[in-house]
Amino acid sequence: MTPPDAASARQVTVSSPGPILRAPLALERRPSEPGRSRFRITLPAGRMPVVALELTVDGGHLSRDARVLEANLVGEEALPRLIGQARLTRVVRDQVTADALRIPIRPPAEPQLELAVDDGDNPPLELTGVTAVFAELPWIYFEAQPGSVTASFGDPRLAAPRYDLEAARASIPAVPARASWGPGPPMTLGPEPEDGLPMPETGRAIETAGFAYMREIPPGPAGLITVPLDAAVMSRSGGSPRRLRDVRVIDRASLQVPYLLEKRDEPLILNARVERRDLPAGVEPPATRPSSYIVHVPYADLPSSRVVLTTRARVFERTVTIGMVVPAQERTPARFQRLDGARWTHADEATAAAPLSFALPDSRRGDLFLLIEEGDNQPLPIEKATVILPSYAIRLFRRPDLPLRLVYGKDDLAAPRYDLQLLAPQLLGRVATEVAPGPELPFSPGGQPPGAPAVPPAVFWSALALAVIVLLTMVVRLVRRDAAAGVD
């Protein structure tokens, strides 16, 4: 038997892990497309050692896929990143419930997470609570006299300590004395550190001539804010060739405020009004005597959008065509241009029919019509129409009580490049306050500020009449003076 070249030994100690830390989280249901439930989950802070989410769901049997996402920096833009997924299941039999409602996740960097659940043909998920499950947290051992001791923490600039006490690790008793945190929240000993980040507050000035639209961003306390870009911005600047390149945030001196563009996983949803209306006279439909509806989409140019139709009917089969009426030109009469079509079928009285969706072109130059071939049946009731498109927001630092403006609608601008984008990894770990912009207004770069009230017509005409009277009076006086001088 050949002796080994080397050998090692270690002492095995039996220890039980401490209790797993759990904490309830804030939960908010978000707007979502049909067949999916979306929720926003807020953690106490960013970069927390959370390894799973446990859900509390009402109802009975359950089998649905769920995903957890957070914002992640890709290039110069924040995009949604998948950090966990699982199938939520529950079986109820003879008043006994067995369920698996836990989603393992990678420790998130963001304080806000997005939860998306595929509902399939079921009603929206009845989620009533979310609990964060933390990783096994470390313990600290120290020698102290009986009584109270003070623990200080919260300075990210400090490195891990190294103490001579480490030499006594092997002789630590198996059951040391236990210490516990005192009552009440932690006390703040000094101003909160700024992580040494000299955040750029303004960029260079920009020539505002050429911008077509503006929105007021309400002033407020200093800090990181997010401004969602709504359908008006997406319609003016979201399509090709702009792709949001012309969006700027400026102060009253036309200095740019740097921002980071963020694409969200949740969609932007608009309600579209559906009205029963025949095609215009002279426009031939593609089928014989279809039911005709006009769909009033709020904006004509919406990028990557689709329209979703729902009905309260339960048993039906219809052929549905969507298209637009192209207006007549010099030598071409008005005509119906087919965009898409599908067969819509449902045959279960116990469940609601699945929605029907059609992709829309990024740019439309005509009224959007919906044609339904009814056969010998009653017209299919269209309950609701919604338009779904991608959702974006911008993140920026706001100085205290500084009025800002969101401007857009300028074709010749390239995408902005800010120093703030170099600090994007730190932007994504902070809590941001969502601020909605004001109503859209036409932008006037010089003189009167955008949105300022114009001179009322009565005041304008009164001033003009007074000026005319003054001029006529002066002319009459001059004529009389010249006449008197001629007589003399």
The gap from C-alpha 161 to its chain's centroid, in whole angstroms, comes to 41
C-alpha distance from residue 319 to each of 246, 295, 306 (Å): 41, 17, 18
Q: What pLDDT sits at residue 326?
A: 87
Structure tokens given for 381: 């009731």
pTM: 0.78
Q: What pLDDT sits at residue 423?
A: 64
Q: What are phi and psi of 343, to 5 degrees?
A: -100, 125
Q: What pLDDT sits at residue 332?
A: 84
Q: Which residues pair with 371 in a beta bridge?
A: 292, 321
Q: Are 335 and 396 in contact (CB under 8 A)?
A: no
The three-state secondary structure class of 74 is strand
Q: Are 292 and 278 in contact (CB under 8 A)?
A: yes
Return d(Cα 408, Cα 238) in angstroms, integer. 10
Closest Cα partner for 260 from 121, 21, 76? 76
Return d(Cα 403, Cα 217) in angstroms, integer. 7
Q: What are phi and psi of 18, to 5 degrees?
A: -70, 175
Q: What pLDDT sits at residue 466?
A: 80
Q: Domains plus CATH for the chain?
A: 22-134 (2.60.120.260), 202-452 (no CATH)
| DSSP at 210 | T
Q: What pLDDT sits at residue 282?
A: 83
Q: What pLDDT sits at residue 285?
A: 84
Q: Are 316 and 356 in contact (CB under 8 A)?
A: no
Rg for the chain (alpha carbons), in Å? Answer: 33
Question: What count of other Cβ atoms lies within 10 Å of the Cβ of residue 311?
Answer: 20
Structure tokens given for 472: 């006529």
Q: Are 392 and 232 in contact (CB under 8 A)?
A: no
Q: What pLDDT sits at residue 241?
A: 66
Tokens 């804030």 belong to residue: 26
Question: What count of other Cβ atoms lies within 10 Å of the Cβ of residue 407?
Answer: 25
Q: Are 377 and 289 in contact (CB under 8 A)?
A: no
Write out the DSSP string of 239-281.
STTTTTTT-EEE-TT-BB---EEEEEEEEEEEEEEEEE-PPPT
Q: What pLDDT sits at residue 152?
A: 83
Q: What pLDDT sits at residue 452?
A: 43
Q: What pLDDT sits at residue 448?
A: 44
| CA angle (87 as vertex; 82, 93 as ends), nearest 5 | 160
Return d(Cα 244, Cα 406) in angstroms, integer. 12
Averaged over successive runs of 10 residues, the pLDDT of the chain (488 residues) comes to 72 64 95 93 93 95 96 88 96 87 96 96 93 89 81 80 79 75 71 50 82 93 92 86 87 90 94 92 83 91 92 94 88 88 93 92 84 93 93 91 91 82 70 92 62 53 76 76 60
C-alpha distance from residue 135 to each of 22, 23, 41, 180, 357 (Å): 9, 12, 18, 19, 42
Q: Are 76 and 424 in contact (CB under 8 A)?
A: yes
